[in-house]
Amino acid sequence: MRQRRWLELVKERIHLHYVGTCKVFLASSFVPLLPIFNGEKYKWWSIKMKTLLRSHELWDLVEHGFVDVLEPTIEENERLRETKKNDAKALFIIQQAVHETIFLRIAATTTSKQAWSILLKEFLGDSKVMTVKLQSLRHDFETLLMTNGESIADFLSRAMAIVSQMRTYGEKISNETIVAKMLRSLTPKFDHVVATMKLKIYPYSPLMN
């Protein structure tokens, strides 16, 4: 009896150790599924990457970069070391999220901002090109109207596609602006619905005018 009990205890401990080891291995080896950019559909890839980097609290660093202090104090040096560590993480994520043919373009970069800026300029265009594209998208949004026979679902899908592109080019457009535009752009068939929605959503808003 004692021997059998002892064997059961040994098996139980071995099982618990095995399960614990597996959990540690899975936790340490977990890698998020990265969207791989191969040179096509940069806008959609960049949106996914921004979300991923924000989830790791790294996007601000990629977008704005950091200043390397020449003679930092002890406190500044500690903060700078942590910043560089996070920047290296962001750069690594970007490097892993591009195809080998694209990686060659950013292989020599040493910061995440440098790598992101190179991809942005090459595949989305420089500031002048981006400005022209954004102006064109703004015009599309301002002149957007629902067509006769078009369903609300199709119209909203068409509108949000334009909004997504505008945001990709750096446009800051509020949800209130989007909703107001949608309500103004519906066909007369939905006038009674628009009036009801305005009253419910914006009871004291200037939009009621």
Are 131 and 119 contained in the same domain? no
Q: Is residue 196 part of a domain?
A: yes
**Whole-angstrom distance, CA of residue 167 vs CA of residue 76:** 35
- Please report, for residues 7, 13, 109, the alpha-carbon distance to residue 91 in angstroms, rounded to integers and kept in the order given: 51, 42, 9
Q: Is residue 8 part of a domain?
A: yes
Of 124, 145, 175, which closes a domain? 124
Block means of pLDDT (10 residues each) for the chain, length 209 residues? 51 45 42 82 91 95 90 88 95 95 93 94 75 89 91 89 82 88 85 61 45
**Confidence at residue 94, expressed as pLDDT on a 0 to 100 scale:** 96
Are 137 and 73 contained in the same domain? no
Q: Is residue 144 part of a domain?
A: yes
Are 46 and 117 contained in the same domain? yes
Are 94 and 147 contained in the same domain? no
The 10 Å Cβ neighbour count of residue 66 is 16
Q: Is residue 36 part of a domain?
A: no
The amino acid that residue 168 corresponds to is T
Are 116 and 157 contained in the same domain? no
**Whole-angstrom distance, CA of residue 195 vs CA of residue 200:** 9
Q: Is residue 37 part of a domain?
A: no
For residue 8, give its domain range: 1-30
- Apex CA 59: angle with CA 54 and CA 63, to 5°? 155
**Confidence at residue 54, expressed as pLDDT on a 0 to 100 scale:** 95
37 - beta bridge partners? 98
Angle 152-168/127-142 helices, nearest 10 degrees?
Answer: 160
Residue 114's Cα: distance from chain center in Å?
Answer: 18
Give the helix, strand, coil percentages of the chain, each rounded to 5. 75, 0, 25
Are 136 and 204 contained in the same domain? yes
Are 170 and 199 contained in the same domain? yes
The 10 Å Cβ neighbour count of residue 99 is 12
Q: Is residue 35 part of a domain?
A: no
Are 131 and 192 contained in the same domain? yes
3-state class (DSSP) for residue 98: strand
Of 124, 149, 177, which closes a domain? 124
Assess contact for 35 and 49: CB atoms under 8 A.
Answer: yes
Are 72 and 139 contained in the same domain? no
**Confidence at residue 7, expressed as pLDDT on a 0 to 100 scale:** 45
Phi, psi of 28 (to 5 degrees): -80, -25
Are 197 and 139 contained in the same domain? yes
Give the total number of structural domains in the chain. 3
Are 120 and 131 contained in the same domain? no
Going by C-alpha positions, the residue among 31, 26, 50, 30 that lies closest to residue 96 is 31
Are 100 and 134 contained in the same domain? no
Assess contact for 178 and 163: CB atoms under 8 A.
Answer: yes
